[in-house]
Structure 1
Amino acid sequence: MNITEQQQDLTVQYCFPDNNLSCRKEVRTGPGNIFLFTLLSFISVCTVLFNLLVIISISHFKQLHTPTNLLILSLAVADLLVGLVVMPVNIMQLGVSCWYLGKMACAVIPLINVVSTSASLCSMTCIAVDRYIAVNDPLLYSTKITVCKTSLIIILGWSLCFFYVLTVFYFNDHLLQSQISMSCYGECFIVIKYSWVIVDLVISFLCPCSIILILYTLIFIVARRQAIAVKSMSKVHSPGHTVKVSITSETKAAKTLGIVVCFYLGCWIPFFLSSLFSETLSSVTLLWTVFSWLLYISSAVNPIIYAIFYPWFRASANYIVTCRIFDSSSSSLSLFREHF
């Protein structure tokens, strides 16, 4: 038995062989793991590329500098952080059990993770408010919602997300003691206390999601009522075509963003429901990993939904891919004939 144990010790790999406190190294190989890592890496690359297309499109073309598009830009930035930082780090942890990025990164990367996902939900909430005002009061929308006001709201929203997460994760000594667990050198995983899960569930999920669902319900009710009114007016007055186009376009935009929201909530709900059935959650558990990646995948799907429903995104992507945005007058090009 002693000889066998010695032989097993010789085959054991460590994250840092020169450190006596090093964790044991577990490398996950095999056809199934290779396929999984390849698939997740492809999703990460697509998330970065698709959201970059959205960011470049809205930033470059002056015609897209609208309040709604600025909120979509904010959402794309949050999704870009997920694809650029959060996804690669999680893929690395799935492939090798060791943590090679250091203790500082072990503390900072969860911050980026939660800030980006919180900012996504904050952007969703602002988009719902924007669409409700546009549909409920289209004639006064341009005076109530401006690019300047929207920019300030976006800055305020990101700031609140950042300081909320920073306060909860790092300025609360009670939580700080149990969040980062490093029993050996080369290990990093997060253990979240159940009390924090409840607080975060209410502040970061239930409140904004309730606002989103209520507003989109009201949007569809108002849009349907307006569509019926316009249809009845068009039978009597043919000049109502302009109003009809405006209301129809706003309704289409609301439906498109509603699909984004429904998909996003569908990815979030399993994550938070699973957190309620465990007093402590570790980032290395299988359930946590599956539901976390379900959240991350939503960051890749959002731009695809834009591409399907928004002609301006397809047109701008064509200009970007063909490098025609480098023309001196490209920022003033018209991307659609009809305002959506």
Structure 2
Amino acid sequence: MNDTLAMKAIDSLYESTSSSHMTGNITDSSMDNSRYPLDAIGRAMGLVVQSLLCLVCITGNFLVIRTVILIKSLRDDVSNILIASLAGIDMLVGVGVMPFGILYQVTGYWTIGRGACIGWVTLDVILCTASINNLTMIAVEKYINITKPLFPVSKRKMVTIYCLVIWATSITIGVVPLIVSWYPVFDEGKCHINLHLGYQLYATFIAFYLPLIIMLVVYGKILKISLSIAKDTAKQRPRVLPLEEVDSLVDDIEVQQPSNHKHSTALDNNLNVTSSAHRSSNSTTDTNFQPLCSEARGVHSNKKSIQTLGIIMGVFLVCWLPFFIYALVRTFCKEKCTIPQVATDILTWLGYLNSCINPLIYAHFYKKFGIPMKEMLCCRWKNVRASVRQQIYEEKFGN
């Protein structure tokens, strides 16, 4: 009898262990496939690429902030302070948003609870909206600076107004869903933003489409004004006869020199007059050398600013427009459309990529940022101010 009871106990233990093992396998399998299945190589490659983007985002934006802090001439310009503000926001994206996105994508499911899910999604919405709004305020500030250079508001007040607009709008979009119970979705290892139609329309319009319209209008007006200034400058610039043209003219006259002595004497007199005029022209050119160089540098700087604005706008559109188009399609489509999870992750990280590219744009197109950032990246901290002083000197007086 004891042997029979022992056998029954062993059988029941084996059945319970087998059933729990099977349940565990089903649970693990469902969690692994809750987003999309990736093999070990795919996850490793994703981890490496996303980690590099995160590192570039944090390092690049830190260098931008440090540059503005170190260089006094940069702090005197409201645009540069807004650039530092943008870098601070983008660096927070790299510190507080991207690492959790990496964890979520590599593991295939959300592992750290509902509270962390709500905090992560809310922070993601607030920071990405703040980054977009900051780009908008940079455009608005450039337009005001061009059209109203004597705008009767102090620099401190302007920066305060810009920052209030940026953060008030961003926090409103991030916090309103929590007030009206449009919480981020946390279900069966999934964590994503609420797809309620009202919230999606409200959030996408204020976070992206309204700033996009403002930037397009403002940058369009800046482009029009800049082209008009360049055209007027080209019309007003006096034409100085180049040395090559004078020499060519003299050579032509010498080739066509007549044999008549009177004509030859007259020609010599003409050549003397031409030579005197040329010397006078050279003297005038030497006297006006600095203004002409300053004017040329101004036109070149104006052209470069237009190109930089175009690149900033183009990168912004490439990074964020696909995601927000997808957000509206997903909201209206819901269960009718089957959108692969991998597409969602690619478009999300394309938006994060904007935070990585912004400091690279400023470093490449603005020497006042690029030179100090290069020195700091090479750990030559003592040479930063000296390099900037040399660069400012070369801008004013040439090489």
Contact between 1:50 and 1:303, CA under 8 Å: does it hold in 2? yes
Secondary structure of the residue that 2:201 maps to in structure 1? helix
The one-letter code sitting in structure 2 at the alignment partner of 1:197 is Q
Q: Does 1:109 align with 2:120?
A: yes
Following superposition, the deviation at residue 332 of structure 1 comes to 10
CA distance in 1: counterparts of 2:215 and 2:127, whole angstroms: 18
Which residue does 1:20 correspond to in 2? none
Q: Within 5 A, what are the aligned runs for 1:32-111?
A: 32-65=42-75, 66-111=77-122
CA distance in 2: counterparts of 1:210 and 1:93, whole angstroms: 33
Give the direction of change, closer, same or farther, for the CA distance of 1:254–1:164 in structure 2 (3 Å limit): farther
Q: Does 1:336 align with 2:391?
A: yes
Which residue does 1:19 correspond to in 2? none
Q: Does 1:278 align with 2:335?
A: no
Contact between 2:139 and 2:219, CA under 8 Å: does it hold in 1? yes
Contact between 2:315 and 2:354, CA under 8 Å: does it hold in 1? yes
Contact between 2:368 and 2:388, CA under 8 Å: does it hold in 1? no
Q: Does 1:210 align with 2:213?
A: yes
The TM-score with structure 1 as length reference comes to 0.82
Write out per-residue CA displacement over residues 15-60 of structure 1, whole angstroms, 9 at most, x where no aligned residue. 9xxxxxxx84668542122112111111111111111111111122
Contact between 2:90 and 2:127, CA under 8 Å: does it hold in 1? yes
Which residue does 2:377 correspond to in 1? 321
Percent identity between the two aligned chains: 25
Q: Does 1:311 align with 2:367?
A: yes
Match of 2:138 among 117, 127, 130: 127
Which residue does 1:9 correspond to in 2? 23
Which residue does 2:357 correspond to in 1? 301
Write out per-residue CA displacement over residues 55-113 of structure 1, whole angstroms, 9 at most, x where no aligned residue. 11112211211111111111111211221121111110011134343333211111221
How many equivalent pairs are there? 322
Q: Does 1:255 align with 2:314?
A: no
Which residue does 1:160 correspond to in 2? 168
Contact between 2:363 and 2:371, CA under 8 Å: does it hold in 1? no
Which residue does 1:219 correspond to in 2? 222
Give the direction of change, closer, same or farther, for the CA distance of 1:200–1:148 in structure 2 (3 Å limit): same
Give the direction of change, closer, same or farther, for the CA distance of 1:133–1:244 in structure 2 (3 Å limit): farther
The TM-score with structure 2 as length reference comes to 0.71
Contact between 1:51 and 1:303, CA under 8 Å: does it hold in 2? yes
* Long gaps (5+) in structure 2: 1-14, 241-287
CA distance in 2: counterparts of 1:43 and 1:300, whole angstroms: 7
Give the direction of change, closer, same or farther, for the CA distance of 1:30–1:324 in structure 2 (3 Å limit): closer
The one-letter code sitting in structure 2 at the alignment partner of 1:211 is I
Give the direction of change, closer, same or farther, for the CA distance of 1:336–1:192 in structure 2 (3 Å limit): farther
Match of 1:198 among 196, 201, 206: 201
Q: CA RMSD in A?
A: 3.3
CA distance in 2: counterparts of 1:331 and 1:236, whole angstroms: 38
Bigger Rg, which one: 2
The one-letter code sitting in structure 2 at the alignment partner of 1:181 is F
